[in-house]
Structure 1
Amino acid sequence: MEVRELNQLEEAPMHLLLLADPSQSLNEEYLHKGHCYLGVEANDIVGVYILLAQSSTTIELVNLAVAQQFQNQGIGKQLINHAIQVAKNNGYQTIEVGTGNSSIGQLALYQKCGFSIYAVDRDFFVKHYDEPIFENSIHCRDIIRLKQTLG
């Protein structure tokens, strides 16, 4: 799989970004403020993520998504590792990521990739989203924040 930055002439794969975050307006904001990367296999976009600078030393990985037919094939891990490398290459000291309390698989994957939980934003999804989100039969209420120190 090739991972490359979205170029200015391309449209972002909103259908994939909406898998990671159901808010169209937040996705558009992330695209405007951040850098979008595509995982491409045989000319098909199979995954996506956005890196969003939080400060001169910290960058956040947001909206990581893999197309459903390509899930459980290691693509998410490849995209995370690519994001970590991009962050290192650009001189960031810390990379952060947040995911829902109901995102059991994602929580495991981020920890396998070297991230550690450092905070919980309680009731984030209840306060900021109009419709309740359910995943794995769990009400998604909180954001679990994870980070990794880059060295």
Structure 2
Amino acid sequence: MDLLELADPSRIQIESYLASGTCYIAVSNMETIGVIVLHKINATTIEIKNIAIKESQQKKGYGKALLAYAEKISRDSGFKKLIIGTGNSSIGQLTLYQKVGFEIDRILKNFFVEKYPNPIFENEIQCKHMLILEKDLIK
């Protein structure tokens, strides 16, 4: 749960998507270093609901590897589109997702203001809006 909370401060939200999603764990040297949760939206679309890497293991390529793994298993399972959402203040994540081929699709205005009881700040910016990015899996 600690890893999941790195990416999402709401246990209520986490428990909600864990109940209907599939959680994959990244392990290195017998230590859990990362987590990713996938949730089927419909027959053609799957969403990454949470992705997190242990803070001491960040900036080592593990996040990129988890994204590649999610893309592979999603494609192998017959999905055509992979989506992920991130906050307007999540500058590093937004950069990473675009570097690996995700493109901004839409913005859910005030998502974090309406769905989370406490304000979230990251990079000295209030996280208010969710940016939805998508990646076409058909190649």
TM-score tier (shorter): over 0.9
**Does residue 111 of structure 2 align to residue 118 of structure 1?**
no
Q: What do residues 109-128 of structure 1 show as CA deviations (whole Å, max 9, x unaligned)?
A: 00011000010001100011
Identify the residue that residue 101 of structure 1 maps to in structure 2: 88
The percent identity for this pair of structures is 44
| Residue-pair matches, total | 138
SS in 2 for 1:130: coil
TM-score normalised to the size of structure 1?
Answer: 0.90
CA RMSD, aligned part only?
0.5
* Partner AA of 2:64 in structure 1: K
Within 2, Cα distance between the matches of 1:80 and 1:127?
28
**Structure 1 residue runs without a partner (length 5+):** 1-13
TM-score normalised to the size of structure 2?
Answer: 0.98
Quote the offset at 1:55 in angstroms.
0.4
SS in 2 for 1:92: coil
Within 2, Cα distance between the matches of 1:101 and 1:45?
28
Identify the residue that residue 24 of structure 1 maps to in structure 2: 11
Within 2, Cα distance between the matches of 1:81 and 1:139?
29
1:55 to 18, 42, 51: 42
* Partner AA of 2:130 in structure 1: I
Within 1, Cα distance between the matches of 2:37 and 2:103?
20
Q: What do residues 24-72 of structure 1 show as CA deviations (whole Å, max 9, x unaligned)?
A: 0111111110100111001111000100000010000111000000000
Identify the residue that residue 146 of structure 1 maps to in structure 2: 133
* Partner AA of 2:132 in structure 1: R
Identify the residue that residue 129 of structure 1 maps to in structure 2: 116
* Partner AA of 2:18 in structure 1: L
Moved over 3 A (4+): none
Quote the offset at 1:74 in angstroms.
0.5
SS in 1 for 2:26: strand
Within 2, Cα distance between the matches of 1:31 and 1:45?
18
